[in-house]
Amino acid sequence: MLSAVLALVGALIYGSADFLGGLAAKRLRSIIVTSVAAASGFVLLACLYPFIGGAWSATDVAWGALSGLFGVGAIVLLYACLAIGPMSILSPLTAVVSAIAPMLWGLTVNGETLSGLGYAGLAVALVAVVLVGFIPGEKVVRPRTSGLVMAVGAGICIGGFLIVIDQTSAQSGLVPLVVNRATSTVITAAVIAVLAGVAVRRGQAAASVLEVSGNGVGAMPSGHADLEHAQHLPTTITSTLTRSRAWWLAITCGAVDAIANVALLLALRAGELSIVSALTALYPAGTILLAAIVLRERIAAVQWVGLALAVAAGVMLAVG
């Protein structure tokens, strides 16, 4: 029960972080949003560590670093597949794969067993993932094979993040998450430094790397992204979004994402990987709900069905 509740709450918080990242990506380059989010998340987790604690061991540090690499891999593949499109297919595909990969790992490798109701809940959750990830108004075209492969790869990387974090010991506390964020911060900062160096060689200012370039998608250190609102925001939002406000949105998004990761960690420590992964993949629900509240966006009928199924799946998995 507790594990399912934490996972569902964590998914909603993830979606909120994605929404903030999507807003920031309208003004700042995506890699900047990602790096700032990773850094602010690291600072928050480092501040929480003295209160929550955790034992440092080489094994748990290694798992934390590996989870950071999975997160960066998810971001790279996510950007690449979204540049190809269509988002309306690749977005739900990534979310479904991110749920199925750790679900299969938990049921086969970890030997997790569920009741009949629990297995039915997993199936309902997967349907809900597809429906809540639907992007209204997005033109549906046949995806290219390369886009499908990269979307699956991004989903596997997100699922790999969950699998790796699940391998950490209960005694490690926040250590794996702190290392995860440190790894993401170092890698993304290095990428930004390279981009700045290339810009200077071309006779441009190093600060030019801050500007939006290419797909306006804000991705989190864990590899999630707000696919819709990074590209289709009302003019009233984009016209008033100053660079300083975008920086604060990116900072806040990283802090919120870190809180979601804490909820995820607690859910994994309290329950089964298969259940947690299925419910965590419902993160787009948090994005569409926040968009409805903040941007007054209409939630499509199919998304309402997805939200209802998400709640049903949560109840079934909590009881089963």
Higher-pLDDT residue of 210, 117: 117
Dist CA 101 CA 17 (whole Å)? 23
In the chain, DSSP finds a helix count (H) and a strand count (E) of 12, 2
Query: Is the separation of the CB atoms in 313 and 279 below 8 Å?
Result: yes
Report how far residue 139's alpha carbon sits from residue 200's, in angstroms, rounded to the nearest whole number. Answer: 38
Rounded Cα distance between 36 and 52, Å, is 24
Query: Does residue 211 sit in helix, strand or coil?
Result: strand
Whether the Cβ atoms of residue 185 and residue 35 lie closer than 8 Å to each other: yes
CA distances from 108 to 101, 103, 251, 274, 287 (A): 11, 8, 38, 10, 32
Tell me how far apart the alpha carbons of residues 97 and 221 are, in angstroms, rounded to a whole number: 18
In the chain, the number of structural domains is 1
| pLDDT interval class at 185 (50, 70, 90) | very high
The count of C-alpha atoms lying within 13 angstroms of the C-alpha of 134, restricted to the half-sphere facing its C-beta, is 18
Contacts of 173 (CB under 8 A, 6+ apart): 49, 52, 53, 54, 55
Q: What is the pLDDT of residue 135?
A: 67
* Amino acid at site 107: L
Give 13-61 pLDDT, tens digit per residue. Answer: 988 887 888 788 777 887 888 889 999 999 999 999 999 889 999 999 9
Instruction: Please list, in sequence order, all residues whose beta carbon lies within 8 angstroms of the beta carbon of residue 233, skipping any fewer than 6 positions away.
Output: 22, 23, 26, 295
Evaluate if residue 250 carries a pLDDT over 60.
Answer: yes
What is the span of the domain harbouring residue 275?
2-319
Of 145, 232, 181, 144, which Cα lies nearest the Cα of 49?
181
Name the residue type at position 8. L
Confidence of residue 95 (pLDDT cuts 50, 70, 90): confident
- CA 95 to chain CA centroid, Å, is 9
Percent of the chain with pLDDT over 90: 32
For the chain, how far is it from start to end, CA to CA, in angstroms? 9
